[in-house]
């Protein structure tokens, strides 16, 4: 019986930091999807995998349109 934990810090300006613990694989993202949709826009998400100890960070607010391609 693993325990699932959600931690929130709701800042004065309405920004919310959310930490989700105790999920296996991608069920972690599914678990809070509805909540995140009702709350607003996810601006930063860091996934931490205990198995690989890798940090993957996606900044969803920054579009990659700054390409400096020279020919």
Partner 1 sequence: MSHFSTIKTQLKEAEPLIKALNHFGYSINQEDKFVKGYKGQFTAVDISMNLPGDTQVGFKWDNNSNAYELVTDLDLWKFEIPVERFISKVTQMYAYQTIVSKTQEDGYQIVEQKNKNDGSIELVLTKWEN
Under the binding rule (CB under 8 A), the answer on residue 63 touching partner 1 is: no
Least distance in angstroms from the C-beta of 67 to partner 1: 26
* Contact present, 56 and 46 (Cβ < 8 Å): yes
Q: Which is nearer to partner 1, 58 or 70 (CB)?
A: 58
Long-range contacts of 38-45 (CB under 8 A, 24+ apart): 40/16
Q: Which of 12, 65, 67, 68 binds partner 1 (CB under 8 A)?
A: 12
Contact 32, 20 (CB under 8 A): yes
Binding footprint of partner 1 on the chain (CB under 8 A): 1-26, 28-29, 31-32, 34-50
């Amino acid at each position: 019986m693993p325990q699932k934990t959600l931690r929130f810090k709701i800042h004065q300006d309405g920004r919310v930091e959310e930490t989700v613990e105790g999920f296996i694989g991608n069920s972690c993202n599914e678990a809070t999807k509805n909540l995140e949709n009702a709350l607003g826009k996810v601006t930063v998400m860091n996934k931490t995998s205990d198995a690989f100890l890798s940090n993957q960070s996606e900044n969803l607010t920054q579009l990659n349109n700054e390409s400096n391609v020279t020919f």
